[in-house]
Amino acid sequence: MEQKDRRHVTFSKRKLGLFKKAAELSVISNAELFVVVFSQNEKVYTFGNPSPDAVVDRYLSRGGGCSLPVPIPVRKNQRRIRKQEEGTMQKQQYLSALSQLEEEKKRLETVKEKKAAANSQGTNVECWWDQRIEGMELEELELLKMALEELKENLSERAEKIMKLASASPAAAMSFLSLLNGDMSEDQGLAWMRST
């Protein structure tokens, strides 16, 4: 029983890792791809960009991968060019978000170092939002209120950017969020990953 649980945990981790790499690959290279994973219990897990069904339908409509050339009408060629341009734009957005994340990580590390240095010198550094409000004067409370409102506005803007990124490219948004969270988990309700 214990070995079965271990196998299940390992399978889940490997499956999520595989899907995460597939999402990154599809965002970076603008590739349409389809991944199928079978569990030991014969459950099927799929991932596809733009969706598993779309990739399979496209493959089957082209003759199942036969080597005969398939003529592409001008309209389809224009759609392909537009898709490539959109993919390039999504890749740029993804790379921009990735560089912003790296900058934020560096800033966080700097703040942590400064706080650790101040604490090692015997100075207890406390963040403004951690301070107790019971002993504050009216002027201090008003400043705190303004700071909290500014924080709320900044968080709203950040959430709006993430939502725009998610609507433009769900795979890029999930990759970005997985980097923020450290890893993807099945509990996040990934729309582009489903069990059939």
Q: How far apart are CA 90 and CA 87, in angstroms?
A: 5
**Domain count of the chain?**
1
What is the mean pLDDT of the segment spanning 118-130? 68
What rounded mean pLDDT belongs to the chain?
Answer: 75
pLDDT for residue 162 is more than 90: no
Q: What angle do CA 34, 39, 45 make, to 5 degrees?
A: 30
Cα–Cα distance, 41 to 162 (Å, whole number): 37
Q: What is the pLDDT of residue 153?
A: 93
Structure-block tokens of residue 4: 């079965």
- When pLDDT is averaged across residues 30-47 and rounded to a whole number, the result is 84
Tokens of 106: 């560096």
How large is the average pLDDT for residues 92-111?
86
Q: Is the per-residue pLDDT at 32 higher than 80?
A: yes
pLDDT attached to residue 172: 63
Q: Which domain holds residue 118?
A: 2-195
* E strand map for 1-107: 33-38, 44-49
Provide the pLDDT for residue 185.
43
Give the model's pLDDT for residue 149.
Answer: 92
The mean pLDDT of 158-173, rounded to a whole number, is 74
For residue 71, is the peptide bond before it cis, meaning its omega torsion is within 30 degrees of 0?
no
Percent of the chain with pLDDT over 90: 2
User: Under a CB-based contact definition with an 8 Å cutoff, are residues 169 and 97 in contact?
Assistant: no
Mean pLDDT, residues 136-160: 88
- With a threshold of 0.85, does the pTM exceed it? no
The CATH code of the domain that includes 31 is: 3.40.1810.10
For 105-131, the DSSP string reads: HHHHHHHHHHHHHHHHTT-----GGGS
| pLDDT at 41 > cutoff 70 | yes
User: Which of 172, 187, 162 shows the shortest CA–CA distance to 50?
Assistant: 172
> Contact at 8 Å (CB) between 90 and 172?
yes
